[in-house]
Amino acid sequence: MSALESTISMLRVMPEADVRVIFEMTKKLFDVQASPYAPVSKKQILQDLDVSSRQIERGHTKDAAEAIQELKMKYGL
């Protein structure tokens, strides 16, 4: 079974509300304005790094193990 066939078979058995969520997320991947993967400028990257550096200096960080545990709880992993 191909990946496409597997995906289609999973979508057929999913509740309609879940299929809508997947559809909306998929649409965002192709919407340059809404996509978290949209291209950014070098200037924007440097600004983001500057903000991150200041947050680290202020101690506004989270332990990686704690962050992973929160993700596991949130997504049921």
Q: What is the pLDDT of residues 11-37, one digit of tens each?
A: 999 999 999 999 988 887 777 676 677
Scored b (16 or more CB within 10 A) or e, 48-74 reads eeeeeeeeeeeeeeeeeeeeeeeeeee
Mean pLDDT of 57-65: 93
pLDDT at position 31: 77
pTM over 0.85: no
Asked whether residue 65 carries a pLDDT value surpassing 90, the answer given is yes
More confident residue, 33 or 8: 8
pLDDT at position 34: 66
**How far is Cα 10 from Cα 5, in angstroms, rounded to an integer?**
9
pLDDT at position 40: 85
**How far is Cα 14 from Cα 38, in angstroms, rounded to an integer?**
29
